[in-house]
Amino acid sequence: MIDLTINTTLARTILTGFIQTEINRTGLSRAVIALSGGIDSALSCFLAAEALGPSNVLAVRMPYRTSAADSLEDAQTVIDATGVPSLTIPISDMVDPLLARFPEMDNMRRGNIMARMRMICIYDQSAAVGGLVIGTGNKTEILLGYTTLYGDSACAINPIGDLYKTQVRQLAAALCLPESVRAKAPSADLWLGQTDEGELGYTYAEVDQLLYLLVDQRYRPAECVAAGFAEPFVSSVVERIRRNQFKRILPPIAKLSNRTVGYDFLYLRDWGT
């Protein structure tokens, strides 16, 4: 068993400092977060409230008509626990006309539309209150591409993107997040009965261990098999990481000059902060 235990006190200090520094360097002091009622967005909300002060964080709930009732309730529990102001924007009336236009849509297309509509709403609120959008995606989701491009992956900064799901749970416990949020099955809540692990075909606990070897320890796939992981499991995870690389980078720019944005012109390196 691979030990993924983190120093939660140190992580808390680093992540709250990250939020404060990255927002302040833009000249802003506020943040906006899409609060689903799940553990990832709840943790990001707790960290942002601690870093910026609760009054400077707006939590936005964006339910669709099929969203689970406990999602709204758990999000409210987080709002109450952190003391952040909140707003609820139902997205059904915005989403349904497009769904009706293409009745043959499968669940993935439908879910992507909901995720991108939430992105539109959260960025509108970002402009309305003058705050940056805080990301809620963890390292496991980012590596596996288990996210909607320009949907739930869209953010200005992401405090929890270097924490595996296993580690998100550790930090959530250390910050005393509500038990109802920490205990629930992970779900994007995009259709009835949907769960993350049901879609992925394996648990976060299983895949986190493999990802740690592949990514953090730079193991080759064959070495992961030798370490005890089933070859089909390793192959499927490696392929998923490879296939979803495009979600982890800005759109590649065709290089024509000697100072191409993203390759040679890198703001922080060239100009400092």
Would you identify the CATH topology of the domain 8-192? Answer: Rossmann fold (3.40.50)
Assess whether pLDDT exceeds 90 at residue 137: yes
Between CA 233 and CA 18 the distance in angstroms is 35
The pLDDT value given to residue 191 = 57
Torsion of Cα atoms, 213 then 216 then 217 then 218, to 10°:
90
Average pLDDT, the chain: 93
Confidence grade of residue 15 (pLDDT, cut at 50, 70, 90): very high
Q: Is the pLDDT score of 200 beyond 90?
A: no
Break the chain into its structural domains and give their ranges.
8-192
What pLDDT, on the 0 to 100 scale, is given for residue 262? Answer: 80
- Give 244's pLDDT tier (boundaries 50, 70, 90): very high
pLDDT band at 225 (very low <50, low <70, confident <90, very high): very high
State the pTM of this model: 0.92
Q: With contact defined as beta carbons under 8 Å apart, do 234 and 224 qualify? A: yes
Determine the Cα–Cα distance for residues 126 and 121; give it in Å rounded to an integer: 9
